[in-house]
Amino acid sequence: MYKRLSAIMFPLTALLLVGALVWGYQENQEKNSILIKAENQYQRAFHDLSYHMERLHGELGNTLAVNSASNGMHRKGLVNVWRLTSEAQNEINQLPLTLLPFSETEEFLSKISNFSYKAAVRDFTKKPLTEGEMANLMALYKNSGEISKDLQEVQEKVIGKKLRWMDVETALATEEKAEDNTIIDGFKTVDKRVAAYPELDWGPSVASIYDKRSVKKLGGKPVTAEDIRAKAVKLAGAGANAKVDIRENGKDTEWASYTATVTSQGHQQPVTMNFTKEGGLLVSYNDNREVGEARVSLEQAAVKGAEFLEKKGFPGMTAVSADRYDNLGNLTFVSSRDGVLIYPEKITVRTGLDTGEPTGFQASDYAKEHQEKRKIPEPGLSLEQARTHLNPEFKELYHRLAWIENEDATELLTYEFGGKINGSQYRIYLNAADGNEESVEEVRTSSGAQDKQR
Domain boundaries, the chain: 13-207, 217-369, 383-443
Consecutive sets of 10 residues in the chain, 454 residues long: mean pLDDT of each? 59 64 60 70 87 92 85 88 90 74 84 88 82 90 92 87 74 55 81 85 72 54 90 85 88 80 84 91 90 92 95 93 90 94 95 93 90 90 96 95 88 96 94 94 61 44
The angle at the Cα of 366, spanning 363 to 368, to the nearest 5 degrees, equals 110
| pLDDT at residue 93, rounded to an integer | 84
Parallel, antiparallel or unpaired: strands 424-431 and 411-421 = antiparallel
| pLDDT at residue 431, rounded to an integer | 96
Query: How far is the C-alpha of 261 from the C-alpha of 266, rounded, in Å?
Result: 14
Query: How far is the C-alpha of 145 from the C-alpha of 194, rounded, in Å?
Result: 12
Cα→Cα distances 80→15, 76, 112, 117, 356, Å: 63, 6, 12, 9, 52
Q: Supply the DSSP symbol for 278.
A: B
Cα→Cα distances 116→15, 84, 127, 133, 180, Å: 67, 11, 14, 10, 37
What is the DSSP track for 68-137?
Answer: TT-HHHHHHHHHHHHHHHHHHHHHHHTSS-TTS--HHHHHHHHHHHHHHHHHHTS-TTTSPPPHHHHHHH
| pLDDT at residue 230, rounded to an integer | 92
Query: How far is the C-alpha of 2 from the C-alpha of 178, rounded, in Å?
Result: 56
Query: How far is the C-alpha of 392 from the C-alpha of 410, rounded, in Å?
Result: 28
Q: Supply the DSSP symbol for 268.
A: S
> How much is the pTM?
0.68
* Strand runs labelled E in 138-226: none
Query: How far is the C-alpha of 272 from the C-alpha of 359, rounded, in Å?
Result: 11
Q: Which of 125, 139, 163, 2 is nearest to 61 (CA)?
A: 139
Residue type, 394: F
Q: Which residues are 443's β-sheet partners?
A: 425
Q: Which of 416, 345, 343, 340 is nearest to 378 (CA)?
A: 340
